[in-house]
Amino acid sequence: MRLGVFGGTFDPIHLGHLIAAELAAELVELDQVLFVPAGQPWHRPRPPVASARDRLAMVQLAIAGNSRFEVSTVDLEREGPTYTDETLLALQRTYPAAQLVLLLGQDSLAHLVSWRRPERVGELAEIAAFARPDSPPIDFAVLEPVIPRARERIRCLATPLIAISASLIRERVRAGRSIRYLTPDPVITYIAAQGLYRA
């Protein structure tokens, strides 16, 4: 089984995430895409705005109905900062027969060499990077010293450049503006019912 691992704060999850995951499943032939909401991302100075419980609930609502999508709470269950190598190792133990494929934005890939144990990330999973607006091209000369066979193990996915962001959604909610067509309707309903992202 080929298992896509799609991590993020998902604060909130939006249609850009879902479109990218669906296209990645086709382009790199994934049997399943596992959405992994972050606990306390090591590289973010501030915690997510919504609670872990709310972010998990929104992911579950967003992916309902797509049999290829699932959610993992592996990062939410760990205390302290979460690191990608630890996440992949935990998932490898849970899915020992799976080939893991890490899904991330091309902008994040540009910073992979500064992650903790990037060489371990490259050993545990293939990498598929989504193109994003204004993302730099992949610099294999920088990646190859830490990711052996980087040109074989990293794929750049030609996905639509969808400029939807969680911060845009939070700003619009705070301003009392519509977020329709930016995130699935059940997520919009949940955000309103829980009073999330208001000033």
Residue 41 has pLDDT above 80, yes or no: no
Pick the more confident residue, 22 or 106.
Answer: 22
Residue 54 has pLDDT above 90, yes or no: yes
What was the pLDDT predicted at 42?
66
Residue 61 has pLDDT above 80, yes or no: yes
How many CB atoms are located within 10 Å of the residue 128 CB? 24
CA distance 82 to 123: 18
| pTM exceeds 0.95 for this model | no
CATH of domain 2-162: 3.40.50.620
What was the pLDDT predicted at 17?
95
Give the single-character DSSP code of 176.
Answer: T
Structure tokens at 117: 């144990």
How would DSSP label each residue in 99-128?
EEEEEEEHHHHTTGGGSSSHHHHHHH-EEE
Structure tokens at 8: 């993020």
Question: Out of 31-35, 46-50, 62-66, 93-97, which region has the weakest mean confidence (pLDDT)?
Answer: 46-50
Residue 117 has pLDDT above 80, yes or no: yes
User: What average pLDDT is seen over the chain?
Assistant: 92
Question: Out of 25-29, 150-154, 174-178, which region has the weakest mean confidence (pLDDT)?
Answer: 150-154
What was the pLDDT predicted at 45?
67
Q: Are 90 and 57 in contact (CB under 8 A)?
A: no
